[in-house]
Structures are given as structure tokens and as C-alpha cells.
């Protein structure tokens, strides 16, 4: 597809992302927007506030609502600075210990282990995010190529269903799939019948496979579900764009890479930025149920650790400390990702 | 672009065949074959766990314990479903779950889209700061206790309000909708504005209909989340049986079955006296099926909004 | 520490004491409108209906609305119960917010080992109320064990708050099934070996039996026969860590062995442990231990046992009931298990212990109850033999028969109902009974507390295979007969439920984690590396502050020796 296509009348009414396959025009537009941002007109004046009273009426009540339900309860974080015991009643009727809980977590008896746990969490999470995002985009593109509507619908319905199974069931199925052939391990069965291995492999006893197993299992469960947002984004693409491209002689792959992908790029970028903040908030059940003594140096994540040393010991403060740590990391990561996206002239979160 | 775009895919397909070069057609066939094969293989891999769960749920409980059931029950039995549907609390809980899900979805769609509309307007002065305030809420959690105390102080313990009032908006869905709305061409908004539409009318009558695919997605997310949640029942409403939800009741049933399994040696009897009518493993599968089936029906219903390819331009024409 | 009581609770508790002191006078007064006087008498009768709110931690189901015992409570006592039942999995979250909220139902049935309701000031101290003499069954229930049952910490006043729900026994303990820890072996292995003598069992003999059988029968129903399964699935790692103490002749004290001077020390790093894991390491490499042991989820473990292919494992009896039941329903009685008690040379086995009272678990009356006396009277009434029989056996003629000799028995139909969770929700109050104090042991008419404990009932339900199997072992009548004779518990016993400081708990958790992470590597390792691997394990154990843990346990033991 050439730039000429972009300027055809067809695209003039198309959705904004569809306008942007060619980088030059997008950059121009951004620049124009930035200029507008610095315009003195953007200054907040009472006149402007009054002019936007309708928008404010839409936003402010919900803002207050959000502050009440999300921000006000954050006083509960005081627990992080206490030796909190629920038995003492009110949160203000507790023993204050300053930063002791933070020191305990990062440098205390479990300090070394906690650092390992953070590394494991990030490893599993980043791998899951990459595999999951890539897989979902590919599946969305392939589904988009299916022209038979009923078939497409059935496929979608099937692929999104594993999302409704609990992690416990999925972990159990994964564990069986990875076991010895005599226990129903069809992966080993397959590998052996293809003569790729001579002896069955005990995948779950091998630390170096663990992150991949977590990522693979998550992919299996959430692939179809993760595709939904991309499919919705694809629907916003103006079919006229494809037609124009066809007129220009663009092939299937050309259309995929020059129209579809650029059109859903804002969605991809926004989801990646959002997800970057959840890198320390991984799924709990997979590492918990699939982990074992032989792979613990790779399997244990923050949440598993917090369960063992926080909740199970009645140490609520530790759980809150870990939560604050996760939030701080999340804010830094999301901030950086957002900044990077802005620098690269991509869609941003904020 | 004309207003007939909705019908266009058909027209396009019809017109395509003749204008294609032969080479393209061969490539087309190969691609379609490969793609179909791949997607079918993927579907098989994805549907296996479901069929497996279904097969176990339809299998005799004591036999299911042995494992090794594939996609077909080994010893067919409806006993597990009998146990679930004989639970007297389940019907009211089902109704409550439906009611809760409907209310949560409706309120979420209205409020989230309203705010998303405001935040998608480039000229809105507090756009960035408000977005930031919402975005941050995705990354922290105040903890159970302060949240509980807030609900208590608002007088919403053991009330239906506790299900929907605290969750009328979610930051993630807000971003999803806002991103989608931003992709709506300014021209549409401008022309509506020239026609004299105010912001509320613009949101409700112009932007909302254009956002159907995104609204369908957000509706689905919210519905599934609300349907599957049980922590709110446990924390706020477990004192009132009338407010109990399906997921919570099923969770309790599973716990009681696991407990029975653990103690069943107590009744270490002969085979003649019969085992427990169900086992935790079989019941867990059954519960998964019972809890998932109602919500699975939501998807095909919403699916039409983002499969057939809604075309924004068509609305304008 | 009274300051920890919420203000309201404190005020009400003070008021209640006065009321209790003048209880006699108040009983005679007619009912009036104030809150306290709604609780004017301890009698429960249909003419004066009472509604009690009951909070229960239990995995048991709530009763169905048409439950027949619910109806009986209403007809005979005028009592209506409103339940809030929280499963043990959800208990932590719910207790946290309840304490923060400070409003409680009349009765709280807690299973919380961390004593959060008690120390959080949610429960009413009951000593003075019991002294009034209006609660005879409860008073008799606690009389001999009041010290053990009472709270002795520092967070709230010392005294009685909770009636333990299990294992306060009346008379002989009966029963046929063994729930405790053992090295289990399939009956077919013993049958095949000609029913060998099981006394003086050692690890070597145990594994020899298994290996002989496995050599003869490498396949079971088409699947490879598994010699020995190690239970190491999530949350059940005790299957792997506990055996050394039992082999050394120590009863289940958790992570410690307590010597004859009542001094506790951990055994994970001692020779009793090393010798056991050395044997496991050898057997693993000889192919007798399942290679998959460490990666099995609990479902997979259960499934393996249920296929009948596993010849032996170390486990506690209650943990694999589902598998046993599955085997029985498939008619594979020869693949079910018998408990064995291997020990080191010169040691007397102490596998079976005398069941320990569940202190800190059971019902208490909440501080916010407006009718504490009625609530307590309800507990008292439920503890009467008449109600205990109704709750445990059911209704005579419907759920069981009374023989001409007065002995209770059941038909097959009644036994089947008893196992049906749907039937139970309509005909039993399982969740309530789970938390109520019980008349375990024997009733005054000689019948056992429940059908499960009735010796004749037990024997009647055995299959012919099992009866025959028992006959081969000198006419044994129950599986308990295969275990050691249960000695009296030491005064402090058991050490595993001593309440530890936060630091000691953390150390304990670290010790467990170290074991769980290292033992599989030792067992699955090359035998040539055993000593090296073992040393690495001991080194990492010694990095943990073991002394903090041992000191805390020993302090607890001394405290119990002095106070119980």
C-alpha cells in the first residue's frame, strides 16, 4: 500500500488509527497536536472550565466516587508500619514499628530469598506477557483471515472457553500432560513416538523449564480471551482501506502488516503499557501448584512467598509491605513505558 | 464512503473471484488450507480441557478418582449433577448471580462510557490528571479491612448495594473504551456538534452507538468478572442467605465434598454398602460446568458486535 | 490486656457480670422490653421462641430449609438458628474483617488455631456463667479439663471462652478405623507374602516386602506397579518430613522430638532423619520409589492410589479416604491398605496416639450477643445425651434401630444415606454439630457416640475380604488392632499445637521450606552424592535460627507442665 492510498477520500471518514499506517502523516498530526497543547488557549481559565461544564459534570462525580472507593481506604497501608494484629481491633490501636517490616522483607532472614522470588516473578511474568501478547495478536490476525463466519464464530467460542476453567483445574491438567506416559503424559508420549527423546522427561523436576511451563500453560488458558480486545480493535478498521489496498495490488500479507497491524497498534501499545505495571502481580496458582522442591529456586513467586510468610503466619503487615512494593514498581514501570510510548510517538495511557 | 458498507463484505467477495489472477488464487487456497488446519488444531487443543472437564462431570465419582478420563466418560453417571441441583440454595443463588451481573454490567457500561467519553475529548482540560488518577487504581489495593469498613460505614453490609455500588467503574475498561473512542474520527464529532448536540447527547446518541464493539468487550469483561466473583459475597453478604451467589454456594459445596472425602474412611465399608455418591474430583468438574455454562451463553450473544465487522463510516452515511 | 477490648465490648462485659451475679433474682422477673431482659431466663421452650445467630467455620454444608432436625429444634425448644457458614479456606479473610467491624452473631464457632476471635476480644469469658449451675452438662463437660481448655495468654483475661469441639472423651474410646500416620502397605502384598508377622517392623523389612512383590508383579491392571509413593504435594509435605520421628519411636510432635526430660529439639538435621532419607535415596535409585513423587498434585497422588498400582506410602489415614473408597467401590479390596509401623532397632512404635482435645476450636458466646444466657443454654441443651444422639445418630426408627438389647444399629439403606451429602443436608445439622461440644466415647447406655465408632456397626460394614484378612492376623476386629496400644499422652502433648511467637513461627516456616526444597534433591540424587547433599541440607538448616524455635516450644512445654 502506498501513501497515495491514505489520501484517498475513502480514508477521510475512517477511524483515526486507520489513518496512520504511513508514519509521515502521523508524525505531522502529532506535531500539530503538540502545538495545540502549548497554545495559550489550553491554559486553564474559569472561562474554559465553565465552557466545559458538561464534560466536568460527566467526570467529576465519578472522580469523587473513585477517590472515595479506591483512595480513601488506602489509609489501610498504615498496617505496613505496624506490628499489626487483627485482635487489637482498630487499625489505629496498633503497635507502630516504623520501617521495620520493610527492612525485614528486603534485608531480613529471608532477604536473599525475597530477591530471588522477585526475579522469578519477573521472569515468569515477562515471558507470559510476551508469549501471551504475541500469541493473541497472531491468533487475531489469523481469525481475521477466516472468511466463513459460522466457522469463525465457533473457533472463537472454543478458543476463549479455557478462560472459564479455574487455575486449579488447569494446573492439574498441565501436570498430567507433563507427566510420564504411564500417568497420561501425552507430551512425553508424543516426543517419544517422534523419537525426539529416548526416555520420558520429567519436565516438572527441571528448574530451567519452569518459567516456560508457566508461560505455556497461561497461553493455553488465556489465548482466546486475550484475543477478544484485538478482534474488537480490528472491527474498527474501515473495509475501504482493504479495498483500496487491493486496488493497489497489495497481497494478503501486505494488508496484514500495512493495514491491520498498524490499525490495532494503539490497542497493542496501551495494553502493553498497562501490563507492564502488572509484571510483579503474576498468577498465583500456577507456580503454587506446579512448583515443588526440585524447582523451587525458579518457581517461587512473590505471592507464594507472601502466602507462606504473610497470611499463613498471620503476618498481615508483610503482605501489605509486599503490596506497597509492587505498587511502587508498577508505577515506575508504567510511567517509563508511557514515557517511552510518548517518545516513540505511540498511543499513550495517560 | 457510502452507507451501504454493511452489505459490502458480501459484495466484495462476489466481485473478487473474477478479478483475481490465477497465482493469487493458488496462494489463497494454500493459505486458507494452512490457516484452517492450524486453527482447527488449536481449537482441538483448547477444547480438550473442556471436554475433559465435562466428561469427568458426567462420570461416576468413585471411578473418576482413578484419573485417566479423556473426552468421554468411562462410567456414565448423572449423580454429580444430582448432588449440585439437589442443593436447595442453588436456585436463589443463581437468580441473585444473574441479577447482580445484569446490574453491574448496566451500571458499568453507562458510567465507564460516560467518563471515557469525557476523557477521550482532546479539549477536556483535566483529561490527563483524571486519567492518571484512574490509571493508578489499577496498581494498588487498599486491603480487605479498610474496604470492609467503608462498606459498613455506608450501611451496605448484607445488602444488594454492596455488590454493585463499589464497582460501577473500572480503570482498565475505562482505558479500553477511551482508546476506542479516540479512534472515532473527529469529523463525526464536529459535524454532530455543528448540529447543536450537547456533550451528553453526543455521548449517548453519537459516540455510544459507534462504540458497540468496545462496549460489547467491556460488557463481557464486566459480566464475567461479576459472575465469577465470590469474595464480595463472603466479605459483605455472607450473613444473609438470600443474597448468596452461585459461585459462593458452589464453592461451599465443593469444600463440604472434600471434607466428606477426607473423612470417608470413617465409613470404611464394603463395596456393597456403596461409596459416597460423588467425589471431590468429580464434583469440582461438575461445579465448573454448572458455573460456566450460563456465562458462556453471553459471548455468542455479544460476539456479533465484533465478528462481522462493524463499520463506523456507515453510521454517518 | 483489657485495653485491647473494644470499648463497647468492655462496657457490655462489665454489665453482664452484674447480671450474672443476680441471675437468680432476674429469672423470676417477667419479660420486659430492654435488651438484657430478653435474656431473662435460661429456659428454651416453644412458648417463648428464640432466634440465635450462629457463625461457623466449617467445611460442612448448611442445612436445607426443610431440614428435619431444624424442625425438631423449633418444635421442642422454640429455637431458630440463622447460620453464617464460612469454609476454612475463607476463614482468614472473613475473621479479619469481622474483628475490624466489631459486630458478631450470638454464637461463634471458630476453627481458628491462631485464636483471633479470642484474642481479638470477640468472645465472652464464660467461667462465671458456668458457676451459676444453670448449665450442668457444659459444667460437667469442662470440669476435669478446665485448665487445658482455658485461655492462658496475655491478650485478654485468662479463663474459659471456647468449648472444644472434638476429643473430650466420655469413657472408652471406640472405633474401627485408624486415621493417624503409618507406613501403609497393600493387603495383596501381605497376602502374597503369606501374611507375615507384622510386629518388630523395620524399614528394611517394609521395603523388602514391597520389592519382592514388585519383582513378581511388575504390572498392575496393565500399568507399571509403583513400589513406594512419597506424599509431597503442596501443603501435604508432612508426608515426606514427618517419618523420622515416628521411626525413632516418638509420637507426632510436629517438627520436634521431645525426650524423656521433656526437652524438645528438632530432628530434621539428626541421624534419625539422615538414616531414613538414605534408605529412600537407595530405594529411589533401585527404582522402588516413584520417580514422579515430587511432581504429583494431590489429585494425581489420589488417582495413583486409586488405580491400585501403588504398593505402599507414608501417609495419614484421613488423607487418602477418597482413594480407598474408589478402590472399594471397584471391588479391589486387596489393593486397599493396612497400616504398618516400622521403627529403628530397639525402639517401641508410637504411631497411634490418644486423640488430642481441640483446644481453641469450637463454640464461644460473642460479646455482642444480646442473649448470652440463652445462647449458652442452647449449647448446654445440645450437649445432653438425648440431643447428642439426635445430632449424631439421627432419629430412632428413621435413621437407626434400637435393638432389644438397647444396641443401636443401621440398615444398609441407612448407612448409604449417611454418606450422601444431599440426604445429609435435609436430615442432619452437620455444620452445627461440627462445632458443638460432643459426647465422644460412649453414652451412658453403652452405645458409641456415633455410628462410625460403634464396634458392631464397623464390623458389619467390612467386606468379606477384609474380615478374612483380619482373621489371618489373629482374629483382629478393627484396623486399630493393627496399631500400637495407645499409651497415655505426656502431660504437655502434643507439641505441635503450642502457640508460638511470631518469630518462632517464622523460623518454623523456614525450617519446613528448607526441608521441602532440599529433601527431593537428596532423595532423587545420586547415592554417591548422598553425604554431600545431606551436608548441604544440614548447612542450610543451620543458617536458620533454630534456637528461637526450640526455645519457644520448650517454653510452651514447661508452661503446660506447670499449668495443665
DSSP C384-397: SHHHHHHHHT-SBT
Find the helix or strand (DSSP H, E) in which C210 lies.
helix C203-216
**pLDDT score at C206:** 97
Chains interfacing with C (3 or more CB pairs < 8 Å):
A, B
**pLDDT score at B27:** 80
Whether residue A63 has a cis bond before it, omega within 30° of 0: no
Contact indicator for A153, B302 with CB cutoff of 8 Å: no
Q: Which of C93, C153, C506 to mutate to test the interface with A (most CBs of A within 10 A)?
A: C506
| Residuewise pLDDT in 10s, chain C (564 residues) | 333 333 333 333 333 333 333 333 333 333 333 444 445 567 888 988 999 999 999 888 889 989 999 999 999 999 999 999 998 888 888 988 888 888 899 999 998 878 889 988 899 999 999 999 999 999 999 998 898 899 988 888 999 999 999 989 998 777 788 889 999 999 999 999 999 999 899 999 999 999 999 999 999 988 899 999 999 988 888 999 999 999 999 998 989 999 999 999 999 999 999 999 999 999 999 999 999 999 998 889 999 999 999 999 999 998 998 888 889 888 899 999 999 999 999 999 999 988 888 888 999 999 999 999 999 999 999 999 999 999 999 999 999 999 999 999 999 899 888 878 788 889 999 999 999 999 999 999 999 999 888 888 888 888 899 999 999 998 888 898 999 988 888 989 989 888 888 889 889 989 999 999 999 999 999 999 999 999 999 999 999 999 999 999 999 999 999 888
Q: DSSP characters for chain B?
A: --TTGGGHHHHHHHHHHHHS-HHHHHHHHHHHHHHHHHHHHHHHHHHHHHHHHHHHHTB-HHHHTT----SS-SSB--HHHHHHHT-TTHHHHHHHHHHHHHHHHHHHHHHHHHHHHHHH-TT-TTHHHHHHHHHHTTS----HHHHHHHHHHTT-TTSTHHHHGGGS--HHHHHHHHHHHHTS-HHHHHHHHHTT--HHHIIIIIIHHHTHHHHHHHHHHHHHHHHH--HHIIIIITT-GGG--HHHHHHHHHHHHHHHHHHGGGG---GGG---S--HHHHHHHHHHHHHHHHHTHHHHHHHHHHS---HHHHH-
Are C294 and A205 inside 8 Å of each other by CB?
yes
Tell me how far apart the alpha carbons of residues C359 and C379 are, in angstroms, rounded to a whole number. Answer: 17
Instruction: Kindly report the nearest CA distance between residue B20 and chain C, in angstroms.
Output: 56
Are B49 and A165 inside 8 Å of each other by CB?
yes
Q: Which of B162, B233, B247, B266 to mutate to test the interface with C (most CBs of C within 10 A)?
A: B266
Instruction: Kindly report the nearest CA distance between residue A82 and chain C, in angstroms.
Output: 14
Q: DSSP characters for C441-506?
A: EB-TTS-BSSGGG-HHHHHHTS-HHHHHHHHHTTS--SGGGGSPP-PPPPTT--GGGPPPPHHHHH
Chains interfacing with B (3 or more CB pairs < 8 Å):
A, C
Are A146 and B36 inside 8 Å of each other by CB?
yes
Q: Which of A52, A320, A331 sits opposite B125 (nearest CB)?
A: A52
Kindly report the CA angle at A125 between A120 and A130, in degrees rounded to 5? Answer: 135
Contact indicator for A263, A18 with CB cutoff of 8 Å: yes
Are C300 and A175 inside 8 Å of each other by CB?
yes
pLDDT tens digits for B235-269?
A: 999 988 899 999 999 988 888 777 765 554 443 33
- Answering whether pTM is above 0.90, one says no
Are C99 and A87 inside 8 Å of each other by CB?
yes
In DSSP terms, which residues pair with C48 in a beta bridge? Answer: C45
Contact indicator for B180, B217 with CB cutoff of 8 Å: no
**pLDDT score at C527:** 96
Report in angstroms the alpha-carbon separations of B183 from A237, A240, B179, B311, C131: 10, 16, 7, 12, 77
Using the Cβ of B25 and the Cβ atoms of chain A, whether some distance falls under 8 Å is answered with no
> Cα torsion for C219, C224, C229, C233, to the nearest 10°?
-140
Minimal CA–CA distance to A93: which of C86, C10, B236, C360?
C10
Instruction: Kindly report the nearest CA distance between residue B273 and chain A, in angstroms.
Output: 30
CB proximity under 8 Å: A 160-189 to B: 160-166, 168-170, 173, 176, 183-184
Are A69 and B166 inside 8 Å of each other by CB?
yes
Contacts of B170 (CB under 8 A, 6+ apart): B108, B112, B222
Chains interfacing with A (3 or more CB pairs < 8 Å):
B, C
**pLDDT score at B262:** 57
In DSSP terms, which residues pair with C163 in a beta bridge? Answer: C363
Burial (CB < 10 A; 0-12, 13-18, 19+), residue C456, is: middle
- Cβ–Cβ contacts within 10 Å for residue C234, how many? 15
**pLDDT score at C141:** 95
Using the Cβ of C503 and the Cβ atoms of chain B, whether some distance falls under 8 Å is answered with no
ipTM of the complex: 0.82
**pLDDT score at A111:** 83
pLDDT tens digits for B148-192?
A: 999 999 999 999 999 999 999 999 999 999 988 988 888 888 888
**pLDDT score at A18:** 35
- Cβ–Cβ contacts within 10 Å for residue C545, how many? 16
Spell out which residues of chain A touch residue B42, defining contact as CB-CB under 8 Å: 139, 159
Residue C410 cell numbers, joined: 443401621
Q: Which of B140, B177, B254 to mutate to test the interface with A (most CBs of A within 10 A)?
A: B140
pLDDT tens digits for B190-214?
A: 888 888 888 899 899 989 988 888 8
**pLDDT score at A32:** 52
- The residue of chain A with its CA nearest to that of C95 is A86
CB proximity under 8 Å: C 81-110 to A: 92, 95-96, 99-100, 102
Using DSSP bridges, classify how beta strands C310-316 and C226-229 pair: parallel, antiparallel or unpaired: parallel
**pLDDT score at B218:** 93
Tell me how far apart the alpha carbons of residues C397 and C408 are, in angstroms, rounded to a whole number. Answer: 10
Contacts of A245 (CB under 8 A, 6+ apart): A1, A5, A254, A255, A258, A259
Residue C528 cell numbers, joined: 554417591
Report in angstroms the alpha-carbon separations of A274 from A137, A228, C331: 16, 16, 56
Are A175 and C295 inside 8 Å of each other by CB?
yes
Tell me how far apart the alpha carbons of residues C227 and C214 are, in angstroms, rounded to a whole number. Answer: 7
Kindly report the CA angle at A308 between A303 and A313, in degrees rounded to 5? Answer: 125
Of how many residues is chain A composed? 350
Using the Cβ of C521 and the Cβ atoms of chain A, whether some distance falls under 8 Å is answered with yes
Spell out which residues of chain B touch residue A88, defining contact as CB-CB under 8 Å: none
Spell out which residues of chain B touch residue A320, defining contact as CB-CB under 8 Å: 143
3-state SS of C53-113 is EEEEECCCCCCCCCCHHHHHHHHHHCEEEEEEEECHHHHHHHHHHHHHHCCCCCEEEECCC
**pLDDT score at A87:** 67
- The residue of chain C with its CA nearest to that of A293 is C517
Are B310 and A220 inside 8 Å of each other by CB?
no
Using the Cβ of C235 and the Cβ atoms of chain B, whether some distance falls under 8 Å is answered with no
CA C556 to mean position of chain CA atoms? 21
Are A330 and B134 inside 8 Å of each other by CB?
no
In DSSP terms, which residues pair with C107 in a beta bridge? Answer: C54, C365
Instruction: Kindly report the nearest CA distance between residue C28 and chain B, in angstroms.
Output: 35
Banded model confidence at residue B222, pLDDT cuts 50, 70, 90: very high
What does pLDDT average to in each consecutive run of 10 residues of chain A (350 residues)?
33 35 47 50 76 92 95 92 79 87 84 91 96 95 88 89 87 90 86 90 93 95 91 84 87 88 91 93 88 91 89 84 94 95 87
Amino acid at each position: 500500500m502506498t501513501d497515495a492510498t491514505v489520501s484517498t477520500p475513502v480514508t477521510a471518514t475512517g477511524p483515526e488509527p486507520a489513518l496512520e499506517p504511513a508514519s509521515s502523516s502521523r508524525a505531522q498530526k502529532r506535531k500539530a497536536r503538540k502545538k495545540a497543547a502549548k497554545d495559550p488557549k489550553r491554559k486553564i481559565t474559569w472561562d474554559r472550565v465553565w465552557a466545559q461544564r458538561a464534560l466536568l459534570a460527566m467526570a467529576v462525580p465519578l472522580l469523587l466516587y473513585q477517590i472515595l472507593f479506591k483512595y480513601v481506604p488506602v489509609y489501610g497501608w498504615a498496617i505496613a508500619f505496624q506490628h499489626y494484629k487483627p485482635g487489637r481491633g482498630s487499625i489505629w490501636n496498633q503497635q507502630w514499628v516504623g520501617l521495620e517490616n520493610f527492612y525485614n522483607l528486603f534485608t531480613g532472614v529471608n532477604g536473599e530469598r525475597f530477591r530471588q522470588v522477585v526475579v522469578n516473578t519477573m521472569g515468569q511474568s515477562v515471558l507470559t506477557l510476551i508469549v501471551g501478547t504475541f500469541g493473541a495478536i497472531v491468533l487475531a490476525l489469523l481469525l481475521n483471515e477466516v472468511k466463513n463466519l459460522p466457522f469463525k464464530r465457533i473457533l472463537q467460542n472454543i478458543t476463549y472457553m479455557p478462560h472459564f476453567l479455574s487455575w486449579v483445574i488447569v494446573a492439574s491438567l498441565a501436570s498430567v500432560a507433563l507427566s510420564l506416559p504411564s500417568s497420561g503424559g501425552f507430551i512425553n508420549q508424543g516426543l517419544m513416538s517422534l523419537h525426539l527423546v529416548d526416555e520420558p522427561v520429567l519436565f516438572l523436576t527441571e528448574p530451567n523449564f519452569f518459567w516456560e511451563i508457566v508461560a505455556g500453560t497461561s497461553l493455553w488458558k488465556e489465548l482466546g480471551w486475550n484475543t477478544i480486545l484485538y478482534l474488537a480493535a480490528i472491527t474498527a478498521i474501515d473495509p475501504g482501506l482493504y479495498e483500496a489496498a487491493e486496488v493497489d495490488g497489495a497481497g494478503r500479507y501486505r494488508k496484514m502488516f500495512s493495514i491491520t497491524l498498524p490499525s490495532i497498534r494503539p490497542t497493542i501499545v496501551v495494553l502493553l503499557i498497562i501490563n507492564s505495571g502488572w509484571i510483579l502481580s503474576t498468577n498465583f496458582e500456577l507456580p503454587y501448584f506446579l512448583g515443588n522442591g526440585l524447582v523451587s529456586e525458579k518457581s517461587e513467586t512473590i505471592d507464594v512467598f507472601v502466602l507462606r510468610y504473610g497470611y499463613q503466619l498471620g503476618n498481615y503487615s508483610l503482605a501489605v509491605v509486599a503490596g506497597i512494593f509492587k505498587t511502587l514498581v508498577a508505577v515506575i514501570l508504567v510511567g517509563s513505558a508511557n514515557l517511552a510510548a510518548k517518545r516513540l510517538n505511540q498511543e499513550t495511557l495517560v | 464512503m457510502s452507507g451501504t458498507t454493511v452489505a459490502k463484505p458480501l459484495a466484495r467477495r462476489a466481485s473478487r473471484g473474477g478479478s483475481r489472477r490465477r497465482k493469487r488464487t493458488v496462494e489463497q487456497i494454500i493459505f486458507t488450507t494452512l490457516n484452517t488446519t492450524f486453527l482447527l488444531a488449536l481449537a482441538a487443543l483448547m477444547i480438550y480441557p473442556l471436554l475433559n472437564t465435562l466428561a469427568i462431570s458426567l462420570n461416576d465419582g468413585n471411578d473418576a478418582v482413578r484419573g485417566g478420563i479423556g473426552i468421554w466418560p468411562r462410567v456414565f453417571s448423572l449423580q454429580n449433577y444430582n448432588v449440585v441441583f439437589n442443593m436447595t440454595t442453588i436456585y436463589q443463588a443463581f437468580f441473585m448471580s444473574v441479577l447482580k451481573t445484569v446490574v453491574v454490567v448496566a451500571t458499568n457500561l453507562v458510567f465507564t462510557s460516560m467518563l471515557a467519553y469525557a476523557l477521550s475529548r482532546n479539549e477536556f482540560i483535566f483529561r490527563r490528571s483524571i486519567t492518571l488518577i484512574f490509571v493508578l487504581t489499577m496498581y494498588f489495593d487498599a486491603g480487605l479491612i479498610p474496604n470492609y469498613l467503608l462498606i459498613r460505614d455506608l450501611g451496605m453490609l448484607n445488602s444488594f448495594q454492596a455488590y454493585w455500588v463499589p464497582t460501577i467503574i473500572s480503570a482498565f475498561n475505562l482505558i479500553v473504551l477511551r482508546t476506542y473512542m479516540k479512534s472515532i474520527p473527529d469529523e463525526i464529532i464536529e459535524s454532530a456538534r455543528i448540529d447543536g448536540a450537547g456533550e451528553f447527547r453526543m455521548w449517548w446518541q453519537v459516540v455510544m452507538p459507534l462504540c458497540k464493539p468496545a462496549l460489547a468487550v467491556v460488557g463481557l469483561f464486566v459480566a464475567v468478572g461479576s459472575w465469577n466473583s465470590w469474595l464480595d459475597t463472603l466479605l459483605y453478604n455472607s450473613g444473609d442467605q438470600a443474597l448468596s451467589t452461585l459461585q459462593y454456594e458452589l464453592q461451599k459445596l465443593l469444600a463440604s465434598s472434600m471434607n466428606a472425602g477426607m473423612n470417608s474412611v470413617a465409613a470404611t465399608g464394603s463395596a456393597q454398602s456403596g461409596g459416597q455418591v460423588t467425589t471431590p474430583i468429580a464434583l469440582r468438574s461438575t461445579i465448573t460446568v454448572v458455573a460456566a455454562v450460563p456465562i458462556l451463553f453471553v459471548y455468542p450473544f455479544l460476539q456479533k458486535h465484533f465478528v462481522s465487522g462493524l463499520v463506523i463510516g456507515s453510521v454517518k452515511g | 490486656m483489657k485495653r485491647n477490648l473494644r470499648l463497647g465490648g468492655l462496657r457490655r462485659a462489665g454489665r453482664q457480670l452484674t447480671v450474672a451475679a443476680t441471675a437468680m433474682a432476674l429469672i423470676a422477673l417477667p419479660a420486659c422490653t430492654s435488651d438484657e431482659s430478653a435474656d431473662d431466663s435460661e429456659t428454651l421452650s416453644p412458648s417463648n421462641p428464640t432466634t440465635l445467630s450462629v457463625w461457623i467455620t466449617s467445611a460442612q454444608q448448611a442445612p436445607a430449609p426443610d431440614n428435619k432436625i431444624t424442625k425438631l429444634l423449633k418444635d421442642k425448644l422454640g429455637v431458630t438458628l440463622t447460620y453464617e457458614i464460612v469454609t476454612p479456606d475463607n476463614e482468614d479473610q472473613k475473621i479479619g474483617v469481622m474483628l475490624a467491624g466489631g459486630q458478631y452473631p450470638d454464637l461463634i464457632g471458630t476453627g481458628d488455631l491462631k485464636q483471633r476471635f479470642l484474642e481479638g476480644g470477640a468472645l465472652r469469658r464464660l467461667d462465671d456463667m458456668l458457676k451459676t449451675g444453670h448449665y450442668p452438662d457444659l459444667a460437667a463437660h469442662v470440669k476435669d479439663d478446665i485448665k487445658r481448655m482455658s485461655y492462658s495468654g496475655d491478650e485478654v483475661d485468662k479463663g474459659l471462652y471456647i468449648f472444644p469441639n472434638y476429643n473430650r472423651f466420655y469413657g472408652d474410646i471406640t472405633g474401627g478405623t485408624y486415621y493417624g500416620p503409618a507406613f501403609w502397605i497393600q493387603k495383596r502384598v501381605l497376602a502374597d507374602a503369606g501374611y507375615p508377622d507384622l510386629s518388630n517392623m523395620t524399614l528394611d523389612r517394609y521395603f523388602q516386602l514391597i520389592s519382592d512383590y514388585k519383582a513378581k508383579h511388575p504390572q498392575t491392571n496393565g500399568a507399571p506397579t509403583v513400589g513406594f509413593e512419597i506424599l509431597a504435594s503442596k501443603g501435604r509435605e508432612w508426608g515426606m518430613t514427618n517419618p523420622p520421628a515416628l521411626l525413632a519411636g516418638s509420637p507426632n510432635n510436629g517438627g520436634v522430638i521431645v525426650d524423656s526430660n521433656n526437652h524438645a529439639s528438632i530432628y530434621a538435621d539428626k541421624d534419625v532423619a539422615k538414616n531414613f532419607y538414605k534408605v529412600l535415596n537407595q530405594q529411589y535409585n533401585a527404582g522402588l520409589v516413584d520417580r514422579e513423587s515430587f511432581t504429583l498434585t494431590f489429585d494425581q497422588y489420589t488417582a495413583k492410589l486409586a488405580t491400585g498400582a501403588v504398593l505402599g506410602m507414608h501417609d495419614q489415614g484421613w488423607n487418602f479416604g477418597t482413594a480407598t473408597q474408589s478402590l472399594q467401590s471397584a471391588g479391589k479390596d486387596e489393593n486397599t491398605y493396612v497400616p504398618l509401623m516400622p521403627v529403628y532397632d530397639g525402639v517401641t512404635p508410637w504411631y497411634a496416639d490418644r486423640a488430642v482435645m481441640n483446644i481453641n476450636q469450637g463454640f464461644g458466646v460473642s460479646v455482642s450477643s444480646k442473649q448470652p444466657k440463652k445462647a449458652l443454654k442452647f449449647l448446654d441443651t445440645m450437649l445432653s445425651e438425648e440431643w447428642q444422639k439426635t445430632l449424631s445418630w439421627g432419629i430412632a426408627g428413621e435413621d437407626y434401630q434400637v435393638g432389644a438389647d438397647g444396641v443401636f444399629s443401621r440398615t444398609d439403606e441407612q448407612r448409604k444415606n449417611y454418606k450422601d451429602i444431599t440426604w445429609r443436608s435435609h436430615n442432619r445439622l452437620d455444620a452445627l454439630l461440627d462445632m458443638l461440644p460432643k459426647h465422644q466415647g460412649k453414652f451412658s447406655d453403652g452405645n458409641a457416640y456415633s455410628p462410625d465408632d460403634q464396634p458392631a456397626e464397623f464390623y458389619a460394614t467390612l467386606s468379606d475380604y477384609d474380615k478374612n484378612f483380619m482373621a489371618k492376623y489373629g482374629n483382629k476386629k478393627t484396623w486399630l488392632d493393627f496399631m500400637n496400644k495407645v499409651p497415655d499422652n505426656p502431660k504437655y502433648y502434643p507439641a505441635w499445637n503450642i502457640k508460638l511467637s511470631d518469630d518462632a513461627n517464622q523460623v518454623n516456616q523456614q525450617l519446613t521450606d528448607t526441608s521441602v526444597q532440599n529433601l527431593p534433591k537428596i532423595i532423587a540424587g545420586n547415592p554417591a552424592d548422598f553425604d554431600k547433599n545431606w551436608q548441604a541440607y544440614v548447612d542450610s538448616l543451620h543458617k536458620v535460627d533454630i534456637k528461637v524455635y526450640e526455645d519457644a516450644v520448650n517454653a510452651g512445654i514447661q508452661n503446660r507442665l506447670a499449668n495443665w
